[in-house]
Chains A and B, each alone.
Chain A
Amino acid sequence: MLLTRLLSLAAAAATITAGASIAQAADPVAKGGTLIYLEQQAHTNLYPPAGGFYPNGGVLNQITDKLTYQNPKTLEIEPWIAESWTVNGDATEYVFKIRPGVTFSDGTPLDAAAVARNFDTYGLGNKELKYPISEVITNYKASEVIDPLTVKFTFTKPSVGFLQGTSVIGSGLVSLKTLSLPFDALGDATKIIGSGPFVVSSETLGRELLLAARKDYAWGPAKLAHQGRANLDSIKYVVTPEDSVRIGALLAGQAQVIRQVQAYDEKQVQSKNFVIYAPPTRGVNNSVVFRPDNPLVADLRVRQALLHATNAKEIVATLFSANYPLAKSIIASTAQGYVDLSAKLTYDPALAARLLDEAGWTVGPKGLRQKDGKELVLTAYESPPQPQNKETLQLVAQQWAKVGVKLNVLAGDAGSRVADSLDPVKTPVAPAMVGRADPDVIRSQYYPTTRNVLLQKGGVSTRVQGFVDDKLNAFLEAIAAETDAAKRLALVAEVQSYVIDQAYTIPIFEEPQAFAASPRLKDFAFEAVGRPSFYAAWLAPK
């Protein structure tokens, strides 16, 4: 039992910043009880590939199991529903051996056929039922059920990220009954039937969700210290949008854990001996990106100037806390293949001014830089899900103003934001981040047919005139296809330098997902990109 505690503590140690002490390891595990979890926003559609949205991930991670488990500490892929697997030399064929005896909560077996059907859906989508394709699966061709517990997946091109892709929230396995429903019906959590340690027992849409522990659960990740059913009896999710109400309710003992705590509230929580958890999201850092299709930022010197005019250290010191480490590359220092590029990310307003002069932008009468009668005025929309994003952008705007560049920060309604964000003329600058613990995340972020943050031609946007960076795309394709792990990480290093050298991105901080919890909550853990896991969690008696 002591070993159990120590192991899971070790897994969480990197993320806990206060409160937890090893002395608690001697406490006996208290079983049972209901945990009250306050969520900032209601979940939306719970189709697993749409699990990236934090509130969705927080629910899906308790009710679905994944084929593989990514150890949040080592980032190694470990067995879960798949007992073992083999991959062919060029990563176009994967064979998984399924653990026997696993069932979905509706009683149907989680066997090779079910796994095959899940990945066929996630990899190819389903037009009839309106299911979109999963972001993490690329080049998917087909599945083949070899025997009831063996399934083979084939790909049209090498798909190195697939193994890690089977471990993410977006690849949660669900019953065939769920996959036969139309996409539009999957916003109802009671329809999401997984094989996880908890089952949705009731829901008041948009307000409350009750999860009950599955008593016969016996297939947690094999290497995890905790085994068998979950310690808690149930978890009650209550949507509580107002920040002060979430924190007040936690401190008053009306809830035991809350999601989304702003940096400025951390002290208030810690001063009462409550615990802040800030697990890293390990992906592309919280950054400001440029859309070089816009002539104002097409010139490399302008982008470099703005990179050196940005004082990320001041932003972190002013708005955030120690849980928000200063970015030193385009990806987090906890991400795979990270290279420290802080030497290239210096704050140097003199250099910025010189670069702008060289690019022909001279300071005009109002202190604003001008060229050919045009002023250097840029626009960005805030991104509400990112922590204090409006304040971050406003501080960036103040810093840029010092070198004569104006940045307008707009709030806007969702419609204008999405429409304008697809138009490089309207949004030459944009905030961006994405979490995933695999180098493939860089491709997700920059490749034209995926998130396409730089707005290259070939993506969803029809407003892009012609900006394409073939060299960048070649790097990204190579990362997706390179089967040799060492070579792959070398490519990841190269692409980080390349993106910074091109000044496409100004990294600001490494984004965590911030939670606060009662000191009574023990063994609260997180998957690799910061989604909560209550499988081993338990509540100490008052």
Chain B
Amino acid sequence: MIRYLAGRVGQALAVLFATFTAAFLLLQVLPGDAVMIKFMSPEMGLSPQQIAEIRASYAADLPIWEQYLRTVANFLSGNFGYSIQAGVPVSQQLAINLPPTLQLAALAFVAAVILTIALAALSNMVGMAWLRSALQALPSLFISVPVFWLGIMLIQVFSFQLGLVSVISPGPVERLILPVTTLAIPISAPLAQILMRNIDEVLAQPFVAVARAKGASRHWVLWKHVARNAVLPTLTIAGVLFGELLAGAVVTEAVFGLNGLGGLTYQAVGNHDTAVLQAIVVISALAFVTINLIVDLLYPVLDPRLGSKLGTAT
């Protein structure tokens, strides 16, 4: 078990390092850089000599490999550099923007899971065929709703028309209601689709018929036998969906004017703010790797067969 864990952590670190390097190289390949965008834009009215000096002061005139080594060293020592566009240290931007995004993403994820389970359970428990197919069609609808449209609609209806929640200076809980809903709906869609399909597949398995023949009620079979089997593939998708959460956060944060990693990414991409992007890529990769590690470690808990394989490895 420990060797397995060490191996997985090692893999995760390798992925992180590769991501860091790839991000660095890709950001170098892009035309222009933050120094150019900020200081060579005509509004600044600077002379070529002044620009060369600024370039030197940001160490942007060094050869690429030297810049790379400096960036690695800085990151290892926890120094993320300055955002050239915003004029503040990147660490300060992260300190302000990371917690709200984590909060939004976590709550949206929880809400999405609740919504998924509710949909799957309802669609398997209601008797009426038309209601059942209506519930099963919902995820397809959710998946095709653009996040920005959904956000704007929710704001228009619940804030501007009904006046139930304020968008501009909301309270700490009030500010989360609409964004979490906006983000949870599209995230729940693929989860619900997969969970529903798996439940159907498991229900068709012979052991279900056996259990039912032994006198188990439909609900009991659903919860005790089917749910456990159907949840595994859903969990895998849940790990992958983290990327969607971040992408959805970009739009949600822009529509609701929330501060967060999404908005920060959007601005940094627009301005080629390399230092900010580099930090965001590393943080996202870290989160991705961690979540997938947790998912992998959860498998044996849910399915003892996977656990025994692990057991023999230790």
Binding site for B on A (CB under 8 A): 36, 38, 42, 44-47, 50, 52-53, 125, 127, 130, 132-133, 135, 183-188, 204-208, 236, 238-242, 244-245, 248-249, 251-252, 254-255, 413-416, 418-420, 422, 434, 444, 449-453, 459-460, 462
A135 touches B44 (CB 8 A): yes
B187 within 8 A of A: no
Interface string of B42-70 (1 = CB under 8 A from A): 11111110110110010000000000000
B32 touches A419 (CB 8 A): yes
A187 contacts across to B, CB distance below 8 A: 83, 85-88
The smallest C-beta distance from A43 to any residue of chain B, in angstroms, reads 9
Interface string of B118-161 (1 = CB under 8 A from A): 00000000000000000000000000000010001001100110
A414 to B83, CA, bound (A): 15
Interface centre among A238, A254, A416 (most CB of B within 10 A): A254
| Binding stretch for chain A, among B71-79, B207-215, B253-261 | B253-261
Contact of A240 among B50, B83, B168 (CB under 8 A): B168
B88 touches A451 (CB 8 A): no
Which of chain A's residues has its CB closest to B170's CB?
A254
Which of chain A's residues has its CB closest to B81's CB?
A184
B288 within 8 A of A: no
Which of chain B's residues has its CB closest to A49's CB?
B44
A240-B257, A242-B148, A418-B36 known, 15 other contacts, Cβ within 8 Å: A36-B168, A127-B53, A185-B89, A187-B85, A205-B259, A245-B155, A245-B257, A248-B155, A251-B160, A254-B159, A414-B32, A414-B37, A418-B41, A419-B36, A460-B42
A183 to B312, CA, bound (A): 60
B169 touches A415 (CB 8 A): no
B263 contacts across to A, CB distance below 8 A: 206-207, 241
Given contacts A204-B96, A206-B264, whether A252 and B87 have CB atoms under 8 Å apart is no
Which of chain B's residues has its CB closest to A38's CB?
B168
B50 touches A125 (CB 8 A): yes
A449 contacts across to B, CB distance below 8 A: 45, 47
Given contacts A254-B169, A255-B168, whether A204 and B41 have CB atoms under 8 Å apart is no
B46 contacts across to A, CB distance below 8 A: 132-133, 460
Question: How many of B's residues come within 8 Å of A, CB to CB?
Answer: 57
A252 touches B159 (CB 8 A): yes
A462 contacts across to B, CB distance below 8 A: 48
B188 contacts across to A, CB distance below 8 A: none
The smallest C-beta distance from A234 to any residue of chain B, in angstroms, reads 12
Contact of B163 among A127, A204, A238, A252 (CB under 8 A): A252
A45 touches B86 (CB 8 A): yes
B32 contacts across to A, CB distance below 8 A: 414-416, 418-419
A187 to B271, CA, bound (A): 15
A248 touches B36 (CB 8 A): no
A241 to B148, CA, bound (A): 12
Contact of B45 among A135, A205, A244, A418 (CB under 8 A): A135
B97 within 8 A of A: yes
Which of chain B's residues has its CB closest to A248's CB?
B160
B47 touches A460 (CB 8 A): yes
Shortest beta-carbon contacts, A-B, top 10: A187-B87, A415-B32, A45-B87, A207-B259, A451-B42, A254-B168, A240-B257, A248-B160, A450-B45, A135-B45
A236 to B82, CA, bound (A): 27
A132 to B44, CA, bound (A): 8
Which of chain A's residues has its CB closest to B92's CB?
A205
Which of chain A's residues has its CB closest to B27's CB?
A415
A415 touches B40 (CB 8 A): no
A255 to B159, CA, bound (A): 13
Which of chain A's residues has its CB closest to B47's CB?
A449
Given contacts A132-B54, A207-B258, whether A238 and B96 have CB atoms under 8 Å apart is no
